[in-house]
Amino acid sequence: MIHIDNEQLDKFNHIYRINLINSCSGYKSANLIGTKSASGIENVAVFSSITHIGSNPPLLGFFLRPTTVMRNTYDNIKATGYYTINHIHESILEDAHHTSAKYDSEISEFDRTQLNAHYQNNFYAPFVKDAPLQLAMEYVEEYDIRANNTILLIGKIIGLYVKDHLLEDDGFINLSKAKIAAINGLDGYAIPELKTRFEYQRPKPSP
């Protein structure tokens, strides 16, 4: 097994280092966040940092890199208070990944890809059409991470749209049925397959 210590990490070139550190944490969720500016310009961008915060109230968080450079997603959420989370699936991998390109705020990624925006129930921000699982989100709060000047942004789920065949009787959403992607590192995409589910675990009695 290869051992890499902190001194070695500091000597790696930039690309090697970010590939190494971004992939060592394992598979991450693959999502498109849809927003719209106060002036009506749509934006969609890929994120791999969305994480569960709590179920009651239903909260999700995601991390943003420092806002010292242009961050259209962050600016739009702060200006309007609303955004969508849309799961990336196998048939849109290339277009979804292209949304990581840094376009000016006046340009919509929907216009530079085959991704299509659509709206539901008068929600302000655009959803990604045909995404098997779509979440309407409302901004709640944010926290500055002083260690690296990133931001943890927390939002509340105020609407959930899921394809019928994915929702099981106990409320479990079977993502593998929709070929939902996961991200390994910055640019590696996988399509996970559900192997099994286990019952709620309780302590075993003493022997």
Domain total in the chain: 1
Q: How confident is the model at residue 68 (pLDDT cuts 50, 70, 90)?
A: low
Q: Would you state the pLDDT for residue 66?
A: 72
Instruction: For residues 169-195, give the mean pLDDT.
Output: 96
Instruction: For residues 37-50, give the mean pLDDT.
Output: 96
Residue 41 lies in a domain: yes
Q: Does residue 97 register a pLDDT over 80?
A: yes
**Mean pLDDT for the chain?**
95
Give the start-end residues of each E strand in 37-181: 42-47, 51-55, 58-64, 82-87, 117-118, 127-128, 133-145, 150-162
Residue 106 lies in a domain: yes
Q: How confident is the model at residue 193 (pLDDT cuts 50, 70, 90)?
A: very high
Measured CA to CA, the distance from residue 1 to residue 70 in angstroms comes to: 40
Residue 74 lies in a domain: yes
Residue 8 lies in a domain: no
Q: What amino acid occupies position 21?
A: I
Instruction: For residues 87-115, give the mean pLDDT.
Output: 95
Q: Which domain CATH number covers 165?
A: 2.30.110.10
Instruction: For residues 170-188, give the mean pLDDT.
Output: 96
Task: Name the residue range of residue 164's domain.
Answer: 28-190
pTM: 0.93
Residue 122 lies in a domain: yes
Q: Does residue 123 register a pLDDT over 70?
A: yes
Instruction: For residues 158-169, give the mean pLDDT.
Output: 97
Residue 123 lies in a domain: yes
What is the CB-side half-sphere exposure of residue 40 using CA atoms within 13 A? 0
Instruction: For residues 167-178, give the mean pLDDT.
Output: 96
Are 207 and 45 spatial neighbours (Cβ–Cβ below 8 Å)? no
Q: Does residue 71 register a pLDDT over 90?
A: no
Any idea which residue has 């949304």 for tokens? 99
Residue 206 lies in a domain: no
Measured CA to CA, the distance from residue 181 to residue 184 in angstroms comes to: 10
Residue 177 lies in a domain: yes
